[in-house]
Structure 1
């Protein structure tokens, strides 16, 4: 009887089991179609993939409750429970998000070869366009300030010349690369990050600490490597335009072109600021007037066996000036109305070619020409620099656990200006500096097992003036599990100095430059200890990245601003300098649409100099002991979002004059920004917000702005302290609160 009842029940249920429905939808990321996403239907065990448009359809699903799993590499896995109880099609659209627990970004700067960021024995920090679009800027110079411990520093209140400080060290200690090439150096450090179209940037990689074992001279304090997009992977058309209530206009655009086996990416960047503002009423422009245009073109060529061949070029022209409000170009170089006027022309060429051999052998080359025509008051500075660079290296793998890099490089620099730097010994005529710098380097990387990895490197360079320079380094990575990583490294760096090309204070007409001795090359020794912790929880993913660093510098070039207010006296430090500290980065991604990035750094940067058998300690200029940054992002839905970004700084030592009434240390301050974004279909989005919400600007940036040529300083009645005009008392932009609006468009 039991068997008969079971058979009756089975036949009675067959019509119900035969009823089936279906599920279909579209899978996206950031409102863009996401192809090839893996889809699993449990408990049926059915698997399929989304098509090239991100579309999928699951047909003939029997009535019941199922879990649909959507997964893709580098993205968070989405799980959805669906009940099918009608003969119909259920629409299920899915938006996948970045998975911060994976952190599988590819980086190249730490080891000169592509490697997963989590596998790199050298800690590398990354800025992507997704991050620096949260606070739109007209140049990458401002964008890199979103990295904890990296400080874009303005060095002049009149011409707004600036450089990049890493861990408190001045700009000349930062090597700036474009696609791995040392294209930006010396004379062009100030302008190298201006005029690179943001729409062409794939990511920016930052390595803190010396890296001369791979990159040679100037890589003493750290490296900023701007990686441009591969043309084949770039959008067909992209554009970004914004303007501010101060009158700034920024236009950035790119287009992809195809010609036979080659793909080209052509970009243009234009920035204009021509509104004279003097909100502190000192009769000087608060912000430098600028008119800049840059054109960038990169070509990738298809080759057999996916070998690499790319070539890129960039041209930049900029007209920049600041000064008294009634200044005009007819006063350029005169002593009637003060102005600092800089015309810059710059051309670059970069190339990468993989040889058609069985071994992975790469050749790289770059060339740049930089011309600067400038007047700082009545003082002219006319300079031209050419840098040619060629490099070849072999990337050899021995099995899956051993990688060996061997290479040779040659840099040749020609520099000429109108200062004593290139004058003949007799003072008659001019002799441009010609500096060849050949070098060889090796790197050996071993993966001992899935927990331990070691790396060793060594570079030998030869300078005709300073002889042989040796630069070793060693690194170790230990990962006991996927949520904990420890990295330790030691390295050295060196720098062959060209004083006049790097120190803006040496160029202004306010002080005379005195060089007391033949300057020796600087050396640095650095140790880093890095710990990365990932904490997944039910409501959020939490990431911690903490780094302790210690750098020791010898032969440091120092400028004495204090002995004589009318002079800058340069010599090698009779002692040593130290940069030490600790930085912490945190990353919180919640299950609801809130993400928080925050960082804090403590730095102690100082120098010890021997004077009269005593050691004197002095704090580094423009190096705050405490600083930090923050990014808070919230998505109201897939189309609306809000971003709050900012930086804060503790007191930093400033260059003051004798008996200066201004404080020697700046106050604590914060610059915060807010942005709202509305996204539409087809890659269009509008954004707007406010910069410098708290309207912070420095006080008393200029002394005696009414006498910029120092014609009346010898007046004991009206100037009893003997003050002279000086532009270097600077720690933040004079640009106050402003509103911005903009529009972006990407066509894939």
Structure 2
């Protein structure tokens, strides 16, 4: 019944679009004036201004227009609609991004080119980022450590906020939706002569929602947060310019663990970003950048009688100065180089000390166009570190234009992910269950203490194995792409990718405790890969109508698991109490929480004489496995899978008197929910929106 309903909506939508388009072509056989479709500009891929269409790297841009028309309010919502991207919830309730099958911890998230922090469990929650002041979102896929260092093993997502506009301008937006969702944002711009200022405010709150009515707990507890962002620009001259940005974020949320344990969680985040640029001549330009940010989170639980049951806290600080320069000897060649220093510290519950990471780095990149058809990018970055082995991250990319319609591009890069504070310094013992988790660097001091207390029955891994260092995870990422532009209005793109990760950090049992539980720690062991293809297309037959779509085919597997299946060492049973049988290599599905197929389709339509625009957007995710259900520790085709699903969103907007707008929409039109496996999809959301510009 659900599938029939789903197809009905899809067929209806396509019929509506086809009918509208046919009606338009009958009235207007040809646009009276052709609109120039200028190439989108991207800066993230090379840290210089580049045309997206000429880039030899797999990248895409989400424009402000698309964000505005879709009525999206949070970053995770808009990223879910992009090819090869899916947000997945973690155990703490946050949503991280999965890119080309790689976990969220391998994708670097930037705002205006500087990183966000606060990965308390490896995941950076994208739901805390509003899109109210976003100019565009730039996504670069593939290893990008050659420019951005650690955390860019799989790619980079850079949120570019609005630039300050001349004169005095601003807008106010308010959206009211299901589940008590309220989103209010306002921006004010002022720029005259040399001085520019802007201020942005956002307030977002929700009553939360409950997918499981059988208990007293909510899937997401009520919360409220606000974001403040102030910017100042000052042009000392045409050659020297100053940029200062300050951002503050706060969230307070109910924290209910059971009917007896209730409390609150609180997040405070701030950052300051200063950039001074100077142009010496047509060839040389330099930048000095200083960035500092702090992320603090704390929560507590109280018993029914008001006594404190638990407290936890997380306090991370990052300070980063950087100097970089660009050199353009001529129109065909460009160089960019930089030198910087990261100082990072973390103070949190279950740490025996306050660790500090210091890592100076330098990078250099060449971007050349030897001929009109050929573009080459070569770059490398060196990261030194006080706690792990230094890393050299090279990258090469090439694009060759066969003709005016067809181009080939290829890139290969090395990416790395440094061990995080938790993997090195965690010292946690669960008082209820009785197990212990130790960071790699904590084992040699914590185990003797547990032994002296009589808690260790035997060691399964000798302590001597922890006298070295935990290596960074590293990857070789390869992308091969084809761009085919049939015309300025119809474009196709195909990209083949493979990411091979070595020294994957995993957990293992290092000791058995006398209470029957275990001691766990981290180690380098697995080798995994993700590979597949991505297909994207965009068609704009008229200036009123745009349709785009994408598809990803993904294979994500553990090479050790593949060998175990190939050697006949893995067994399963189809049902409980039935005999086990040997599995074959083709029975191995792959890594958990990865779908073999993902697709999206988006249709945008404008009616200028009515000052109205509307769109319908759909995404599909095929089945995936969350855990091993037949006891062989691997995900095979005989395990239980989460069924595939589709999400369809609809929006319509109308402008009145140029400066006023009303919007209406339905997210998750088919009201899809999965009460057992998917906690970040609440159900159907109906909303209305008001926009005022001045």
Q: TM tier, shorter chain?
A: 0.7 to 0.9
Moved over 6 A (4+): 501-504, 506-511, 563-568, 610-618, 657-660
* Contact persistence 1:175–1:184 (CA under 8 A): no
Q: 1:399 to 1:356 in 2, by over 3 A?
A: closer
Aligned residue in 2 for 1:604: 555
* Contact persistence 1:139–1:195 (CA under 8 A): yes
Pick the aligned partner of 1:265 from 194, 198, 207. Answer: 198
Aligned residue in 1 for 2:415: 493
Matches within 5 A, 1:191-590: 193-232=126-165, 236-258=169-191, 261-274=194-207, 277=210, 280-321=213-254, 323=256, 336-337=260-261, 341-355=264-278, 357-358=280-281, 359-375=284-300, 380-419=311-350, 422-423=351-352, 431-498=353-420, 500=422, 512=435, 514-515=437-438, 519-536=470-487, 541-559=489-507, 569-590=520-541
Q: 1:276 to 1:183 in 2, by over 3 A?
A: closer
Aligned residue in 2 for 1:69: none
Q: 1:375 to 1:141 in 2, by over 3 A?
A: farther
Question: Displacement, 1:746?
Answer: 2.7
For structure 1, which runs of at least 5 residues remain unmatched after alignment? 1-77, 81-93, 328-335, 424-430, 702-729
* Contact persistence 1:175–1:185 (CA under 8 A): no
Separation in 1 of the partners of 2:338 and 2:385?
18
1:144 maps onto 2:79 in alignment: yes
TM-score (norm 2): 0.79
Greater Rg over alpha carbons, structure: 1
Separation in 2 of the partners of 1:692 and 1:568?
43
Question: Displacement, 1:483?
Answer: 2.0
Aligned residue in 1 for 2:663: 687
Q: 1:635 to 1:656 in 2, by over 3 A?
A: same
Greater shift in the superposed pair: 117-126 or 406-415: 117-126
Aligned residue in 2 for 1:674: 650
Aligned residue in 1 for 2:56: 121
- State the secondary structure of the residue aligned to 1:555: strand
Aligned residue in 2 for 1:628: 599
- State the secondary structure of the residue aligned to 1:471: strand
Separation in 2 of the partners of 1:273 and 1:169?
30
Q: Deviations 1:439-464 (Å, cap 9, x if unpaired)?
A: 11111111011100111001111112
Q: 1:594 to 1:502 in 2, by over 3 A?
A: farther
Question: Displacement, 1:594?
Answer: 2.7
Q: 1:501 to 1:281 in 2, by over 3 A?
A: farther
The size of the alignment, in residue pairs, is: 597
Separation in 1 of the partners of 2:222 and 2:148?
35
Question: Displacement, 1:745?
Answer: 2.4
Q: Deviations 1:267-291 (Å, cap 9, x if unpaired)?
A: 0111111256456433321333211
- State the secondary structure of the residue aligned to 1:477: strand
Question: Displacement, 1:673?
Answer: 1.0
Separation in 1 of the partners of 2:668 and 2:357?
44
- State the secondary structure of the residue aligned to 1:127: strand
Separation in 2 of the partners of 1:434 and 1:135?
42
Q: Deviations 1:149-200 (Å, cap 9, x if unpaired)?
A: 11111123xx522211111211110101111112346349755644544232
Aligned residue in 1 for 2:618: 646
Q: 1:184 to 1:530 in 2, by over 3 A?
A: farther
- State the secondary structure of the residue aligned to 2:658: helix
TM-score (norm 1): 0.74
Question: Displacement, 1:393?
Answer: 1.1
* Contact persistence 1:577–1:608 (CA under 8 A): yes
- State the secondary structure of the residue aligned to 1:118: helix
Question: Displacement, 1:474?
Answer: 0.4
Greater per-residue helix proportion: 2
| RMSD after superposition | 3.3
Separation in 2 of the partners of 1:521 and 1:203?
32
- State the secondary structure of the residue aligned to 2:560: strand
Separation in 2 of the partners of 1:603 and 1:406?
35
Aligned residue in 1 for 2:641: 665
Greater shift in the superposed pair: 683-692 or 134-143: 134-143
